[in-house]
């Protein structure tokens, strides 16, 4: 999140939550030098934390059921699709390859080589579909009532519980803060932001995302397409409201 945006939100006296598809280790690194970030939503809403002194306290998590986890991995294994897994604090991989090494440098997190079939502490799986068979498998997984497959980055598809994907952890945050969705400003630029943006009182869809992708609006909701950071900052300065921020 750009410093200018954080400065503007903090200057307006807003609570700030950084919600992302990244894991907690990566988000902790991003938030380390910005104490105004009071909350984190990791793994596309599967894990929500609140700043607690010099550390972080978990206030919400959605585990994948062990039997569901095994079923997903069986589906992925049948078509040879690479999968990673995430717990509260760990990023797990089956082997260290070029993709893992590049990701480690990019997000500032370290992978652990460890089996994750049947575990009870997995909050998110990450899939990399490279062919038609992979994409078809993700469609089968997404069709399950309790699961959601959302793109968190081009070529990166998060598999989480449907409740997590619905608002990217925003439901946990507004309950913790004692707010209604009408009090929320949400900003996002990816598919895994759509649920959060659709619920927010003020939604800022940052390029390449567009507000036309959101659910039908409710009375009182404000929605804006923002081509760049300057557009976001201009809108924030002009808003006649005192909401929180996600």
- Write out the H or E segment, with its range, that includes residue 93: strand 91-93
Determine the distance from the C-alpha atom of residue 225 to the mean position of all C-alpha atoms in its chain, rounded to a whole number: 20
Which of 13-29 are b and which e, b meaning 16 or more Cβ less than 10 Å from the residue's Cβ? ebbbbbbbbbbbbbbbe
Q: Quote the pLDDT of residue 242.
A: 52
CB neighbours of 244 closer than 8 A, spacing ≥ 6? 14, 15, 174, 177, 179, 183, 184, 185
Cα 122 → chain centroid? 15
Alpha-carbon distance of 108 to 105, in angstroms, equals: 5
pLDDT score at 246 = 59
Cβ atoms within 10 A of the Cβ of 244, count? 23
Average pLDDT, the chain: 93
C-alpha distances (whole Å) from 93 to each of 101, 113, 169, 186 are 11, 5, 24, 32
Question: What pLDDT is stored for residue 245 in this prediction?
Answer: 58
Residue-level pLDDT at 244: 57
Residue whose C-alpha is closest to residue 147's, from 134, 133, 130, 164:
164
Structure confidence at residue 3 (pLDDT): 83
Q: How many angstroms separate the Cα of 23 from the Cα of each of 18, 37, 158? A: 12, 16, 11
Longest alpha-carbon distance in the chain: 54
- Please answer whether residues 186 and 198 qualify as being in contact, where contact means their C-beta atoms are separated by less than 8 angstroms: no
CB 128 within 8 A of CB 151: no
**Whole-structure pTM value:** 0.90
The residues of the chain scoring below 50 in pLDDT are none
Q: What pLDDT shows up at residue 2?
A: 73
- What pLDDT sits at residue 124? 97
pLDDT tens digits along 150-203: 999 899 999 999 999 999 999 999 999 999 999 999 999 989 999 999 999 999
Q: What is the pLDDT of residue 85?
A: 97
Identify the pLDDT of residue 185: 94
Residue 73's nearest CA partner among 49, 93, 100 is 93
CA angle 168, 169, 171 (to 5 degrees): 115
Helix axes 66-78, 132-142, angle to 10 degrees: 160
């Amino acid at each position: 999140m750009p410093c200018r945006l954080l400065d503007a939100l903090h200057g307006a006296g807003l609570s700030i939550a950084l919600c992302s598809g990244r894991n907690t280790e990566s988000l902790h690194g991003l938030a380390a030098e910005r104490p105004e970030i009071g909350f984190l939503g990791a793994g596309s809403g599967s894990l929500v934390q609140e700043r607690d002194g010099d550390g972080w306290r978990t206030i919400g998590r959605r585990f994948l059921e062990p039997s569901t986890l095994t079923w997903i991995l069986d589906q992925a294994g049948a078509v040879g699709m690479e999968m990673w897994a995430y717990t509260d604090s760990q990023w797990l991989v089956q082997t260290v390859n070029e993709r893992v090494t590049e990701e480690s440098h990019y997000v500032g997190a370290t992978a652990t080589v460890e089996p994750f079939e049947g575990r009870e502490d997995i909050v998110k799986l990450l899939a990399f579909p490279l062919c038609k068979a992979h994409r078809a498998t993700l469609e089968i997984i997404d069709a399950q009532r309790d699961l959601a497959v959302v793109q968190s980055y081009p070529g990166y598809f998060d598999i989480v519980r449907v409740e997590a994907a619905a608002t990217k952890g925003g439901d946990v945050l507004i309950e913790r803060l004692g707010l209604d969705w009408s009090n929320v400003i949400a900003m996002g630029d990816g598919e895994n932001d759509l649920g959060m943006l659709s619920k927010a009182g003020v939604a800022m869809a940052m390029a390449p995302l567009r507000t036309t992708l959101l659910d039908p609006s409710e009375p009182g909701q404000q929605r804006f397409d923002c081509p760049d950071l300057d557009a976001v900052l201009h809108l924030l300065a002009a808003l006649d409201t005192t909401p929180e921020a996600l």
